[in-house]
Structures are given as C-alpha cells and as structure tokens.
Amino acid sequence: MNDLTRSARSELLEPEDIGTNSSSNPSFDSVLTARLSRRSILKGTFGLASSVFFGTGLAACGGDNDVLAAPTTPPVTAPEVTKSLKLNFNAVAKSLADVVAVPAGYTASVLYRLGDPIAAGIADYKNDGTESGASFAQRAGDHHDGMHFFGMSADGKYSASNSDRGLLVMNHEAITGAYLHANGQTIAGNARTVADEVLKEMHAHGVSVIEVNRSGSGFSYKKDSAFNRRITALTEMSLSGPAAKSPMMITAYSTDGSKTRGTVNNCANGYTPWGTYITCEENWAGFFRRVAATDDANRTAKEKTSFTRYGVNTNGTHLWATVTTAETSDTTFSRWNAMKTGPSADGSDDFRNAPNTYGWIVEIDPFTPTSTPKKRTAMGRFAHENAAYLPVVAGQPVVYYMGDDSRGEYLYKYVSTAMWDPVDATRGLSAGDKYLDDGKLYVAKFNADGTGSWVELKFGSNGLTASNPAYAFADQADVLINSRLAADAVGATKMDRPEWVAVNPANNEGYLTLTNNSNRVPANPTSSQQLVDAANPRFYNDPKGSAGTAQKGNPNGHIIRWKDASATATTFQWDVFLFGARSTANADNINLSNLTANNDFSSPDGLWFSNNTGLLWIQTDDGAYTDVTNCMMLAAVAGKVGDGGKKTINNVDGATIKAVDTYVGAAPGDTNLRRFLVGPKECEITGVTETPDGKALFVNIQHPGEDSKPDYTNPASYGSHWPDGGTSRPRSATIVITKSDGGTVGGGLA
C-alpha cells in the first residue's frame, strides 16, 4: 500500500492520465479532423522578423490584425527595424546521463534544493530523511515546480525592473516519499502510523518565497531574509469571490465558509500585473479520504455527482487522514477526511465539504510575509495547471487563460469586470480583490472550421440552471465550485490533458501544451476510453527501447495555439504549433513538425514566453522517449497562428492506413527550435522564470530518481544522485543559468 506520492503514482497511472470526464462532449481530436478537412490553407510567414522589443516592455508590428500590448516606450518606425529574434546557442544532445546539460558558453548552478533551510538557526539539510516534520516549515519543500522572479527595490517593494535582487517564489507540487523519510513512508495496514512523517509531507507541499541576490555571475538565496516564507498544507487561506461563504464551503474550521487551511499539489503557476504570485491546485482531489461505500449513503445525489466528476472517490487510498496517534483539537489530520461524520445538517461539525475549498487559483503577496493567501473562486475550480494573462492595456479587462490537466478536460478563459488601471500595478492583493473576484469565466469550444468560441459559465445562462439534467445548479457559487460540470453542460471541447498555457507578448496569441494521450483508440473503444475515430490527426505506435515496446495513441503530445479577435472576444482562430515526436519517426503521420536530432521532444508540459527576449521555453514531463533521453527544455522562436500549411497524415491502424488532412504550424527547423537543457535521471523539467534583464534564467529540476525503489543500504540503487553527487539521495532543486559572456539567456534580437 502506498500513499499518494509521485513515485507511487508513476508505477500505475497518474491521476491526470485517468480522467473523470464522462460527458459526451466532442473531443479535440474529432474536431481537429473535421475542421482540417474543410479549412483552407492559411498563409503566413514564420518568425518575428518585424517585431521590436523595448526592454521589459514589448510591442510587435507584425500582423495586420494583431492585438498589441501597449508599448512602454514609443515604437520606432517600421523602416528602422532590421533585427529579428534568434537563438544564441548550439543545441544540447539528448542524454541519459545523471547531470544537467546546458549549451557551450552557458553555466548552470544549483541554487535551492529540497530541505535547504530558509531561516536563521535551521541546520543544513542532512539529506538522510531524519529531519523533523516541524523543521520543514522552514525548509525548501519537495518537487519544485512553477516559479516566478519578482524584482525587489531597496525598500523591499515590488520592482518590475530590478534584476539584482528579488523574491523567487515557487511551487512544491508533490513528494518522493522514498527519499523524504529515513526509510520511506511507514504504512501499516491501510494507515499512516508515524504522525511526524505526515506532518513533514504536509509541510513539503505548497510554496516557497525566498530572497535571491545577484552574486558574481550567478545568484544566491539569503537564508535569513525576513521575506523568506513557506506556505504549506497548513497555512490559513481566505476564500474569496462568488463562491466564498457558500453553504458548500462550510467546515468545522470555518462555519461561515470564508476560509480554509492550506494548499496542495501546487503544480504550475502564474503571476499578476500587480506583483503577486499565483499558485495552482492540480491533483488536490486525491488528498481527500472518502470511502464511497461508507459515505455515499449519507450524501446527496448532487454531492455524489460532484465527487465523481472531480475524482473525490479515492476509496481510502490517501492516508493523511488516517493518523490518529497525534490528532489534536486543531484537526490537523482528520480534516483530510471528506466523509460525513457529524450529525449537523450544514457540515459545520466535520470536513465533508473540505474538498470544495480546494481546486482553486490561489493568490499570494510575496512582499507581505504576514499576508493571508486568497483562493480566487471567480476563476473556477478544476485541476488547475497554471494561469497566464494577456498583456494588460489601460481601460481593458484583465484576461487569464487556464488549463485543466486531466485527460479529456478543458481550456478556460477569465475576463475581469474591472478595467485595468495602471495605478493598480503596485497594489498587491487589493488589486487582486478588484480584478480576480469579479469577472466572467468561459470555456473553449474548438470548431471544425478553424475557429473557436468561448462559452460563458454563468448561472441562468447556457443551460446552467436547476433544470440541467446532469446536475441541478443552484447559483453561481455552485457553477464555480462545479466548473467541470458546467463546462460539460455547455458542450466544451475535450482536450488531451491541458498542461501549461502561455501568451506570446509579441502578438497576444495563446499557447497550450497537450502533453499526451495514451488512451486514444482507433476502433472498438470501451466506454472508459476516449472516443477517437479513425480520422483523428495522430494515432500511431511509438516503439520504445530495444524491445520495441508498443506505445499507442498520441504518446508524444502536441502544442496548440489560438488568437482571440480581441481581449473580450468570444471567438478565436487556432492551429497546431508543434507535434512532439522522435526525429526518426515517419514524417507522414508522426513527425509532422519535421523535428530533428537537435530539437526532437516528447510530452510538452511547462511553457512560458520570456517578456525580455520573447523566446518561448518548452519543458517536458515525459515517459515515452525516456529510452533515449531524459526530460529536457527547448527554446523556440514562435511564429503565429496560420503560418503553416496543409498536411495529409497517414495514420496506421493495424493493417489499414487512413489518411487525414491536417494543418501544422510552419516547421521550426534547427534555426527556430533547439534543445537548451537536458536534466538528470528520472526527473521532470518544470518551472521557468528569469530576471527582468533576461540574463539569469531559473529552472526547476523536479523529482530526479523518482522511479527507483531505493535499498537504503546500497546507495547505488538510488535512481539519481543529482545534485549533490557521490552516494547522496537525489533532491529536487532550482538551478540558475547564465551566459558566460553576460548576454541574455537563449537568444534575443540579432
């Protein structure tokens, strides 16, 4: 019996792989096929040859109907534009070595590792699993993930331009129990019997805020900074926005439903135009213990529908709630029990409603260490991967895109009611109250003709009423708490595991990684499998290793992009930017982006546009191409929607070849897409940010060695010894990458 850790999940299926979307909504796959068969070829050119960049502000003058960010400096006139965006490094080779490899002329240094102390008086981490659970309230958490650098002025305020000193804020998504504890997790029967292990795990999740300072050519973190902070599964949080104080939020901890405790499974991130950080709650559902066979009789039909749709039916496989030896009046452990245990009618005497207080976008003010994080319920509840905003323009709303990472889930858009006022750029959480607590939440429908639409999730509209057959919505709070059910009801398009979204600041186009779908089936699918007919864009086998183990479906994933007609538009155009593949794979039906040995990749996940260089960074969380290479990060010069053309894919389904027409973004070639980094063994590369001057790039190396089952008497059994080397246990860590000549990382205008 294993508790929910990455290593446990990877042995079976990760929650994202399973999916809980049983709606009959169309899948992206089928829409793509239909749309591509009708669409005319869009014309365009690749690259940003006519783009201009101004320091940290940025404007572009490329497309005739591009939505432009307001430049911070008057643009130069077009005839003066002679430079274009270029990569400034040679590609790193694929690798299975237990190192971080970066290009020649670059340096990567380790900055912040699992267990590193963030307060005076906290000892260095021994990395043998013997530290107390309590000490982890002042140590780096595990599984570093999404991350952002906030420049800081001398007086400790947010400074968007300062590159020498800042607050680095990052997520700690999950844990590797095998290395976090001296001898792994102690589990007896179906219970956790060592309370301190569970306390350590709760503290190892959440968020770190650390002060970092430029030091020589690199960076160091300040161990005793007053800004250093850990936000964990125990930190008090406000519930904010329309679903706050809903009867569905009432718990024994907050009988008016106004607050909750903690955040978990903090996957990727976002940030705001007003200097605050966003952490996203992804696979939170699995942390709540609910034995359906016991609890179902005590729950309403609506509750059971909601539990099923979000996967809060763990049947007792998550075990934090099973600690009884150290339970105190503050319900540290029993609060993870989501079953009805008390006699009250409203849930004020137990934690039956606790799952409703998770699954949100959480806003944190890193510059005010005593501030209470706020869960922004207006932005919807699902398995939040990350959030990315369109460049803000005075007098226009603040717009975020967000993905829901599970197989067959959706892409969302949030549009604030308040119009952006630049004076709010320094107002922290109070600006968040203004822009993120009141707005419209939309979900994406991808149409067959290459257009798409955003459908609003508003109680009383689009069938979101008490008459909805699958789930009777009571009010807007109910719509937001059950965003997935609302999206089902309006016919949103099922996607292949939406991971990160990113916005190209040069032209306001949105990008979304669809990491993979191992369950595409061409014929005779069972009811639990995602329906894909023979006409879908890619169904193929990707043989793995010397044995040629079959990996069927879309094991390598792809990246799509779209362009809204305007910030408030409810329509968009879209195409496929890149398809992941082995470079050796057939270009007719698999390697549709003509990837080469210098840039082939699989399972894109992390995705972020630099506001300085304008480069697109792509990170992988892969299990398909790992016979050849560890996970990696690539840099791209992105084009624009419609810059590619029509391609016919010859899908191989058994002995039958089925042709389908598709449209693929312009092949990047080695010029516009190169592998920049390869990580150590069994890691995932996730989380990327940089200093405003673009000269230091921060990257997280998550869970090296996570697949191994360590024999603690034989360190050679550890899956990795990165970053400390020798016979050490592996540790998730942040690295900082600089260019030896002091230039911008990855590329720039040249």
Give the phi and the psi of residue 344 in degrees, each rounded to 5: -65, 155
Q: Which residue is nearest to Ca ion (CB)?
A: 621
Q: Nearest distance from residue 12's CB to ligand FEO, in Å?
A: 16
SS3 content of the chain, % helix, strand, coil (to 5): 15, 30, 55
Closest distance of CB 601 from ligand FEO, Å: 16
In this complex, which beta carbon is closest to Ca ion, that of residue 3 or of residue 621? 621
Helix (H, G, I), strand (E, B) or coil at 21: coil
* Strand ranges inside 476-523, DSSP E: 495-496, 498-503, 510-514
- Closest approach of Cβ 703 to ligand FEO, in Å? 11
Stretch that binds Ca ion, among 108-116, 260-268, 364-372, 548-556 (CB under 5 A): 260-268
Quick one: what does residue 542 bind among ligand FEO, Ca ion, none, with the CB cut-off 5 to 8 Å set by partner type?
A: none
Q: Which DSSP string do the residues of 589-647 spell out, in sequence order?
A: TT-TT---TTT-B--EEEEEE-TTT-PEEEEE--SSSTTT---EEEEE----TT-SEEE
Helices (H), 258-369: 292-295, 301-310
From 61, 85, 122, 267, residue interacting with ligand FEO (rule: CB under 6 A): 267
| CB of residue 35 to ligand FEO, shortest distance in Å | 26
DSSP label of 406:
S
Q: Which listed range, 25-33, 342-350, 409-417, 599-607, lies at the site for Ca ion (CB under 5 A)?
A: 599-607
CB under 5 A: which stretch of 119-127, 232-240, 259-267, 307-315 binds Ca ion? 259-267
Interacting residues with ligand FEO between 627 and 666 (CB under 6 A): none
CB 724, min distance to ligand FEO, A: 25
SS3 (DSSP) at 743: coil
Question: What's the min distance (Å) between Cβ of 408 and ligand FEO?
Answer: 14
Given ligand FEO, Ca ion, none, residue 282, with its beta carbon under 5 to 8 Å by kind, binds: ligand FEO
Nearer to ligand FEO, 299 or 703 (CB): 703
The answer to whether 525 touches 519, Cβ cutoff 8 Å, is no
Q: Which of 501, 567 has the CB closer to ligand FEO?
A: 501
Q: Does 605 bind Ca ion (CB under 5 A)?
A: yes
Least Å from the CB of residue 135 to ligand FEO? 26
Q: How many angstroms separate the CA atoms of 362 and 433, rounded?
A: 12
Which partner in Ca ion, ligand FEO, none is near 424 (CB below 5 to 8 A by kind)? Answer: none
Q: How far apart are CA 190 and CA 320, in angstroms?
A: 11
Q: Which window, 49-57, 133-141, 336-344, 601-609, contacts Ca ion (CB under 5 A)? A: 601-609
Residue 173 interacts with, from Ca ion, ligand FEO, none (CB under 5-8 Å by kind)? ligand FEO
Using CB under 6 A as the binding rule, the residues of this chain from 449 to 508 that contact ligand FEO are: 499
Is 229 in contact with 364 (CB distance < 8 Å)? Answer: no
Q: How far is the CB of 269 from ligand FEO (least distance, A)?
A: 11
How far apart are the C-alpha atoms of 605 and 684, rounded to whole Å?
9
Footprint of ligand FEO on residues 377-396 (CB under 6 A)?
385
User: Which residues inside 592-631 make contact with ligand FEO, applying CB under 6 A?
Assistant: 605
Cβ closer to Ca ion: 176 or 356? 176
95 versus 266: smaller Cβ distance to ligand FEO: 266
Burial of 319 (0-12, 13-18, 19+ CB in 10 A): buried
For position 683 contacting ligand FEO by CB under 6 A, the verdict is no
CA atoms within 13 A on the CB side of 507: 25
> Rounded to 10 degrees, what is the CA torsion of 608, 611, 613, 615?
20
Angle at the Cα of 323 from the Cα atoms of 320 and 327, rounded to 5 degrees: 115
| 142 interacts with ligand FEO by CB under 6 A | no
* Shortest reach from residue 202's CB to ligand FEO, in Å: 18
Strands 191-192 and 552-553: unpaired
**405 part of the interface to ligand FEO, by CB under 6 A:** yes
Nearest distance from C-beta of residue 145 to Ca ion, angstroms: 7
Residue 653 contacts residue 670 (beta carbons within 8 Å): no
Contact status, residue 538 vs residue 530, Cβ threshold 8 Å: no
Q: Which of 16, 29, 66, 478 binds ligand FEO (CB under 6 A)?
A: 16
Could you tell me the smallest distance in angstroms from the CB atom of residue 624 to ligand FEO?
15
Length of the chain: 750
Residues near 321 by Cβ (< 8 Å), separated by ≥ 6? 288, 289, 333, 334, 335, 336, 337
Size of the site for Ca ion (CB under 5 A): 3
Minimum CB–partner distance for residue 68 and ligand FEO (Å): 31
Give the x-and-dash track for 270-289 against ligand FEO (CB under 6 A). ------------x-------
Which amino acid belongs to residue 736?
Answer: V
Shortest Å, Cβ 98 to ligand FEO: 23
Give the span between the Cα atoms of 445 and 462, in whole angstroms.
13
Provide, rounded to whole angstroms, the least separation between the CB of residue 619 and ligand FEO.
Answer: 10
Q: How far apart are CA 587 and CA 653, in angstroms?
A: 16
> What does 285 bind: Ca ion, ligand FEO, none (CB cut-off 5 to 8 Å by kind)?
none
267-296 residues in contact with Ca ion (CB under 5 A) are 267
Bridge partners of residue 528, in order along the sequence:
none
Enumerate residues 155-184 that contact ligand FEO by CB under 6 A: 173
Please report how close the Cβ of residue 285 comes to ligand FEO at its closest, in angstroms: 13
Minimum distance from residue 566 beta carbon to ligand FEO (Å)? 29
Q: Residue 404: which of ligand FEO, Ca ion, none does it interact with, CB under 5 to 8 A by kind?
A: none
User: What is the residue type of 406?
Assistant: S
**Which residue, 98 or 405, is less far from ligand FEO as judged by CB?**
405
* Residue 265 exposure: Cα atoms within 13 Å on the Cβ side: 22
Measured CA to CA, the distance from residue 557 to residue 540 in angstroms comes to: 12
- Strand-pairing partners, residue 562, are 510, 574
| 404 close to 433: Cβ distance less than 8 angstroms | no
Closest to Ca ion by CB, 262 vs 606, is 606
Return the sign of the alpha-carbon dihedral for residues 415, 421, 424, 426: positive
Confirm if 275 and 158 have CB atoms less than 8 A apart.
yes
Q: Which of residues 498-527 bind ligand FEO (CB under 6 A)?
A: 499
Q: Which one of Ca ion, ligand FEO, none is in contact with 69 (Cβ closer than 5 to 8 A by kind)?
A: none
Site size toward ligand FEO, by CB under 6 A: 8
Whichever of 274 and 500 has its CB closer to Ca ion, that residue is 500
Stretch that binds Ca ion, among 193-201, 287-295, 483-491, 604-612 (CB under 5 A): 604-612
* Residue (of 63, 45, 62) closest to 644 by Cα position: 45
Closer Cβ to Ca ion, 5 or 228, answer by number: 5
Angstrom distance (rounded) from CA 734 to CA 702: 9
List 452's β-bridge partners, or say none. 446, 572
Residue nearest to ligand FEO as judged by C-beta position: 267
Closer by beta carbon to ligand FEO, 605 or else 707 = 605
Closest CA to 676 of 47, 86, 87: 87
Matching residue, tokens 């990567």: 108
Nearer to Ca ion, 14 or 350 (CB): 14
- Which sign does the torsion angle of CA 630, 631, 633, 637 carry? positive
Q: Whole-angstrom Cα distance, residue 396 to residue 416? A: 9
Chain residues 344-363 in contact with ligand FEO, contact rule CB under 6 A: none
Is 621 a residue that touches Ca ion (CB under 5 A)?
Answer: yes
Question: Given the rule CB under 5 A, which residues bind Ca ion?
Answer: 267, 605, 621
Question: Given the rule CB under 6 A, which residues bind ligand FEO?
Answer: 16, 173, 267, 282, 385, 405, 499, 605
